Amino acid sequence: MSPDRIALKGLRARGRHGVLPAERELGQEFVVDATLFLDTAPAAAGDDLTKTVHYGELAEALVEVVEGEPVALIETLAQRLADVCLASELVRKVEVSVHKPAAPIPLPFDDVVVTIERSRV
């Protein structure tokens, strides 16, 4: 049986991630999508929030990472966000996408996205 999913999409926060000095100095908006794979049946059976992931608290924790210590690569940022998601023992696997819509690319583009998938060992 495949696990259920809780998805948090379009979470926005300002961070200072990037390789260029201006990115570190000025910062920019990042958008995060996180899909957590877990069994929600125990939570549903007892209508019990303690048996699932509180997506409001998760959102706050993810924003803290984006607004926190700068990194050069959004791949590194995605890994840090995945680690936050996997901190809950209930989460079996996570898919995290980090969007950088204002990336310093001197050509017209819609978005830059790095997506990673991580699971419990």
The reply to whether 100 belongs to the active site is yes
Amino acid type, 70: P
Quote the radius of gyration of the chain (alpha carbons, Å).
16
Amino acid type, 54: H
Enumerate residues 6+ apart whose C-beta is below 8 A from 48. 42
The one catalytic residue among 9, 51, 93, 100: 100
Instruction: Name the residues annotated as catalytic.
Output: 100
